[in-house]
Amino acid sequence: MNEEQLKQIKADKVVDARGTACPGPLLAAKKAIGLIEQGQIMEILSSDEGTKRDVPKWAKKKGYEYLGTIEENGYFRIFLRK
Amino acid sequence: MDKDVEQKIQDLQNQINELKGQVADVEEATKDQLSIAIVSGDMDRILAAMVLSIAAASMDTQVKLFFSFWSLSALRDKSKRVKSKDFLSKMFGFMLPRGMDKLKLSKMNMAGMGPKMIKFLMKKQNVLSLDEMFRQAAELGIEIIVCEMSMGLMGIRKEELIDYPNLSLAGAGTFIAEAAESRIQLFI
């Protein structure tokens, strides 16, 4: 998805892991993914640059669909569909 | 002619079935598991082991940690004291760090200044403390297996280890067997 499409997304669950360092955001994402249904969208907020590479790998392993990342001022918005 | 082709197709079919069986065997031989043998008792190395373990468990990889030798210091509960140890065990107990909060750095320890500085930086940058990492590890179902022989050598008793839900004692053979089945094996 391109950035315009990503910006339109209204996530079913937003996980705010800003401020936590590796592996905090991944841990937060793992804990939250159980709270949404298959097909729903989760948005992870992280200020840790590594997360934007970690999440797609995690998604691939688990069979979730990685939708893309928007870079905001000082943090990242990472989207995936369960 | 037709029979010849039929025979060839049959041969190919047999070969495919044979390969399918072999692939299944290979897949069954290893599990989505991370096994780490942790020998070091340095704070930075234990930290590395715990970060990798939590990342793996977050990705639903099963994690088994084998603690031996110097790493046992990290598992000591500072509030637990054990009596009736022999002289050498007492000496070792006195000299080894009492718990994960007292571990040294492998570099730049500077008589204890290094660990203090690292802990300050970790807090400032919101890196989980070792203590918190063990709590998360417990919650994620990460298994801790403690080398029985090392405990004997270091004079560390089970009664003075931290309260951890999934902790057991075993020998080197258990690590080898688990490592053999794991897709990832590390030695720290």
Residue B24: band (very low, low, confident or very high) from pLDDT cuts 50, 70, 90: confident
Name the helix (H) or strand (E) containing B146. Answer: strand B143-147
- pLDDT band of B84, cuts 50, 70, 90: low
Chain B environment of A29 (Cβ under 8 Å): 58
Phi-psi map region of B111: left, alpha, beta (phi>0 left; psi -120 to 50 alpha): left
Q: For the packed helices B43-58 and A24-33, what is the interaxial angle rounded to 10 degrees?
A: 30
Could you report the predicted ipTM of this complex, rounded to two decimals? 0.83
- Spatial neighbors of B35 by CB under 8 A, at least 6 apart, are B63, B64, B65, B66, B175, B178, B179, B182, B184, B185, B186
Lowest mean pLDDT, pick from B3-7, B9-13, B15-19:
B3-7
Q: How far is CA B18 from the centre of its chain?
A: 37
What chain B holds in terms of domains, given with CATH numbers, is 31-187 (3.40.1260.10)
Mean pLDDT of chain B: 91
pLDDT recorded at residue B90 = 81
In sequence order, what DSSP letters do the residues of A11-40 get, joined into one string? -SEEEE-TTPPTTHHHHHHHHHHTTS-TT-
d(C-alpha B141, C-alpha B30), whole Å: 20
Would you state the pLDDT for residue B59? 93
d(CA B179, CA A25): 28
For residue B138, name the pLDDT band (cuts at 50, 70, 90): very high
Comparison of pLDDT for B89 and A69, the residue scoring more: A69
Contact A43, A60 (CB under 8 A): no
- Give me the half-sphere count of Cα atoms (radius 13 Å) on the Cβ side of residue A58: 28
pLDDT in tens, B90-126: 888 888 898 998 999 999 989 889 999 999 999 998 8
Where residue B30 falls among pLDDT bands split at 50, 70, 90?
Answer: confident
For chain B, give the longest Cα–Cα distance. 88
Neighbours of B13 (CB within 10 A): 10
Q: Determine the distance in angstroms separating the CA of B45 from the nearest CA of chain A, rounded to an integer.
A: 16
Distance CA B64, CA B176 (A): 12
Cross-chain CB nearest to A24 (options B57, B60, B126):
B126
Q: Contact B61/B143 with Cβ under 8 angstroms?
A: no
For residue A17, the chain B residues in CB contact (below 8 A) are none
Is the pLDDT at B1 greater than 80, yes or no? no
Mean of the pLDDT values across residues A32-41?
93
Q: Which residue has the higher pLDDT, B83 or B102?
A: B102
Average pLDDT over residues B82-91: 78
pLDDT in tens, A18-30: 989 989 999 999 9
pLDDT reported for residue B14: 93
d(CA B109, CA A29): 34
Q: Map residue A58 onto helix, strand or coil.
A: helix
Best A15, A30, A48, A58 member to test B by mutation, with max B CBs in 10 Å, is A30
Residues paired with residue A79 on neighbouring β-strands, in sequence order:
A43, A68
Domains and CATH numbers, chain A: 3-81 (3.30.110.40)
Taking only the tens place, the pLDDT of each residue in A46-78 is 998 889 899 999 999 999 999 999 999 989 999
Q: Confirm if B88 and A59 have CB atoms less than 8 A apart.
A: no
| Mean pLDDT in residue range B155-182 | 91
Determine contact: B60 vs chain A, CB below 8 A: yes
For B20-121, where are the E strands, in sequence order? 31-38, 62-67
Res. B85: pLDDT tops 80 = no
